[in-house]
Chain A
Amino acid sequence: SQTIHQWPATLVQPVGSPLSLECTVEGTSNPNLYWYRQAAGRGLQLLFYSVGIGQISSEVPQNLSASRPQDRQFILSSKKLLLSDSGFYLCAWSVRGQGQPQHFGDGTRLSIL
């Protein structure tokens, strides 16, 4: 069966520090991969999605970037964190094809001080 792993589960970082969140998927090949942010009391905002190695599409301009160095690895990064980057970050994967559901990791709670 397929599984998705995100780490760390929680992270506290000072303003201006770098960020690296990692997500890996097991049990499937060539997945679509997604990064979302969920602000407190709000819905999900799609940040990035990827349909293959090195192929990243950004949904919103911001302080973050994403990379996909391997087929089942998706990394969310920042060179300098802002207070507004605080939130709950979720990674998801889906099989390719029409109308496929996405499957989510357990998320990373990021607090910026």
Chain B
Amino acid sequence: AQSVTQLDSHVSVSEGTPVLLRCNYSSSYSPSLFWYVQHPNKGLQLLLKYTSAATLVKGINGFEAEFKKSETSFHLTKPSAHMSDAAEYFCVVSPPYTGRRALTFGSGTRLQVQP
């Protein structure tokens, strides 16, 4: 069984300040982990993925995430927020096997960026 918890439903930052979106996971196996971003009325775009290689994963648009097995966390960070980063972010876990329930989605974190 697997699950994912996004610890904040809303995060508000000022433009130019760091972003931290928190995600904890639970999995019976070594999972693959993903972060997606969704802008209003758009589909989900893959930001980055962890698949048991380097624990620090770099993604698009300056985002990165660190896989910490001891803490079962996969937090998303960005050094300096931009207005265009305002969106909904989803943390997603996938087991290391194929199957119909291949992805489990977190409930999402809405990021607001204040000017």
Chain A contact residues, CB within 8 Å of chain B: 6, 32, 42-44, 46, 49, 57, 59, 88, 90, 92, 94, 96-107, 109
Contacts and interface: CB of A to CB of B under 8 A. Distances in A.
Nearest to B44: A104
5 contacts: A44-B105, A46-B101, A88-B41, A98-B98, A101-B32
Of B43, B96, B106, the most chain A CB neighbours within 10 A belong to: B43
Contacts of A107: 41-43
Contact of A96 (B31, B95, B98, B103): B98
Given A99-B32, A99-B94, A102-B103, A43 B108 contact: yes
Contact of A101 (B34, B96, B100, B105): B34
B94 A43 contact: no
A81 to B, nearest CB: 20
B46 interface: yes
B100 A57 contact: yes
Interface string B18-42: 0000000000000110101000011
A105 B92 CA distance: 17
Given A106-B42, A109-B41, A97 B100 contact: no
Interface in B81-115: 90, 92, 94-98, 100-103, 105-108
B80 interface: no
B45 A104 contact: yes
Interface residues of B, number: 27
Contact of A106 (B43, B51, B92, B100): B43
Interface of B: 31-32, 34, 36, 41-46, 49, 51, 90, 92, 94-98, 100-103, 105-108
A106 B46 CA distance: 13
Contacts of A105: 43
A109 B44 CA distance: 14
B31 A43 contact: no
Nearest to A9: B41
Given A90-B43, A101-B92, 12 more contacts: A43-B108, A88-B41, A94-B102, A96-B98, A97-B98, A98-B97, A99-B51, A100-B94, A104-B36, A104-B44, A106-B43, A107-B43
